[in-house]
């Protein structure tokens, strides 16, 4: 291949022009390879200088070398221009949000029912209570008879049950049987809460489910009175819902307590005046009462020497009140869009 000076000038002119409009570093690099690479057009021209007649060689060689140097310089300058232009518009075109953490790992957290249970445990542990557990599969004696609920008692209708293996075992319908089990295995003084799952054959609606959570409380000692129970409920309600809450105690009936009471806490939304989310200013939180003498006896404790109080509350219900959740089913559906909010 041979090249004359006119060819060189034509190649140089074309490359000069293309460098001046190269859009980015990649285009520049391609031009460099095309002109100065091993198989580049200027490289080929330089190489062919040796084949020229001796009288043309020096001039052509000098010209080709000069062009090579010029192209190198142009490439460097255009690269610098492009870089400067890029930096000047960087803020507008290539901004990054430095507060974004790419691919952040979402940390898990505790379930709202667990959070409320932890609060409940913390409140009662400050009063010296221990946590006791009982089986979820119960026998009729502990779940019913020992709590003064004999076979034909109407209270059984309100606790429609899941039986297994004929009529001997059932899924416990409340946490109250833990009272009996604990008294049978411990001597007073007794101060426990007993949290856990309970089961009833209830149709599911926003405030009922076939599985839910309760916690039971039991205190047995010398001279335990109704006023102790009232003070305990008040301390509990204010600790969980806020210092400005009032409690209302009203008569109720449970077969295993005498007298029996129901406790309500003043509504936090309306302050007790009455609003859409409460019953005339009050929210029922638990059932309670003085432990029936026969129940003490069934637990192996002599009612002539000891007295006690008990209470039972729905954990789901407390969580609904605590977090303003209107449908209990949300707690068990495990929809993370719901759970993430706590
Ligand atoms: N076991 C009752 C229920 O499930 C709740 C209850 C009421 C428990 C009064 C108690 C109590 O310990 O004293 O509806």
Phi, psi of 214 (to 5 degrees): -130, 165
Q: Mean pLDDT over residues 262-269, rounded?
A: 88
Dump pLDDT digits (tens) for 104-138: 788 888 999 999 999 999 999 999 999 999 999 99
Q: Mean pLDDT over residues 205-210, rounded?
A: 79
pLDDT band at 155 (very low <50, low <70, confident <90, very high): confident
| Nearest protein Cα to ligand 1, atom 5 | 312
State in Å: Cα 64 to ligand 1 middle: 103
pLDDT band at 5 (very low <50, low <70, confident <90, very high): low
CB-ligand 1 contact for 308 (6 Å cutoff): no
Ligand 1 binding pocket mutation candidate from 176, 190, 196, 202 (most atoms within 8 A of CB): 176
CB-ligand 1 contact for 254 (6 Å cutoff): yes
CB-ligand 1 contact for 212 (6 Å cutoff): no
Amino acid 6: pLDDT:
66
Dump pLDDT digits (tens) for 29-54: 999 999 999 998 888 888 888 888 88
Q: Mean pLDDT over residues 3-25, rounded?
A: 84
CB-ligand 1 contact for 182 (6 Å cutoff): no
Higher pLDDT, 334 or 168: 334
Structure tokens at 62: 């000098």
Higher pLDDT, 20 or 154: 20
Reference 129, options 309, 260, 323, 322; nearest CA is: 309
Amino acid 255: pLDDT:
96
Name the percent of the chain lying above pLDDT 90: 60
Structure tokens at 229: 């129970």
Alpha carbon 223 to its chain centroid, in Å, reads 45
The alpha carbon dihedral of 203, 207, 210, 216 has a sign of: negative
Dump pLDDT digits (tens) for 216-257: 999 999 999 999 999 999 999 999 999 988 899 999 999 999
State in Å: Cα 109 to ligand 1 middle: 31
Dump pLDDT digits (tens) for 282-325: 888 999 999 999 999 999 999 999 999 999 999 998 998 888 88
Judge whether 259 and 226 are in contact, CB under 8 Å: yes
pTM confidence score: 0.70
> Which atom from ligand 1 is nearest to the alpha carbon of 173?
4
Amino acid 280: pLDDT:
85
State in Å: Cα 81 to ligand 1 middle: 82
State in Å: Cα 246 to ligand 1 middle: 21
CB-ligand 1 contact for 40 (6 Å cutoff): no
Amino acid 229: pLDDT:
98
Q: Which domains does the chain have, with CATH numbers?
A: 5-93 (no CATH), 112-339 (3.30.930.10)
Helix (H) or strand (E) holding 190: strand 190-199
């Amino acid at each position: 291949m041979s090249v004359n000076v006119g060819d060189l000038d034509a190649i140089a002119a074309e490359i000069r022009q293309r460098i001046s409009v190269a859009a980015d570093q990649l285009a520049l690099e391609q031009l460099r390879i095309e002109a100065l690479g091993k198989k580049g057009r200027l490289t080929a021209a330089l190489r062919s200088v040796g084949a020229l007649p001796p009288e043309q060689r020096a001039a052509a060689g000098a010209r080709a070398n000069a062009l090579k140097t010029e192209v190198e310089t142009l490439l460097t300058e255009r690269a610098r221009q492009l870089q400067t232009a890029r930096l000047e518009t960087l803020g507008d075109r290539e901004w990054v949000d430095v507060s974004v953490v790419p691919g952040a790992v979402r940390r898990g957290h505790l379930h709202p029912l667990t959070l409320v249970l932890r609060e409940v445990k913390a409140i009662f542990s400050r009063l010296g209570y221990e946590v006791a557990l009982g089986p979820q599969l119960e026998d009729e004696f502990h779940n019913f008879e020992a709590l003064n609920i004999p076979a034909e008692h109407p209270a059984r209708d309100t606790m429609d049950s899941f039986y297994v293996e004929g009529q001997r075992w059932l899924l416990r319908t409340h946490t109250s049987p833990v009272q009996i089990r604990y008294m049978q295995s411990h001597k007073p003084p007794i101060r426990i809460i007993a949290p856990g799952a309970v089961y009833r054959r209830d149709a599911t609606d926003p405030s009922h489910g076939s599985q839910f959570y309760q916690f039971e409380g039991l205190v047995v000692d010398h001279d335990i009175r109704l006023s102790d129970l009232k003070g305990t409920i008040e301390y509990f309600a204010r600790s969980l819902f806020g210092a400005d809450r009032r409690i209302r105690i009203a008569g109720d009936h449970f077969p295993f307590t005498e007298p029996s009471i129901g406790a309500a806490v003043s509504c936090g939304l309306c302050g007790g005046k009455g609003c859409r989310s409460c019953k005339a200013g009050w929210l029922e939180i638990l059932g309670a009462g003085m432990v029936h003498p026969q129940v003490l006896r069934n637990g192996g404790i002599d009612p002539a020497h000891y007295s006690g109080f008990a209470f039972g509350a729905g954990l789901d219900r407390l969580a609904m009140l605590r977090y303003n959740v209107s449908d209990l089913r949300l707690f068990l559906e495990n929809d993370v869009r719901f759970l993430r909010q706590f």
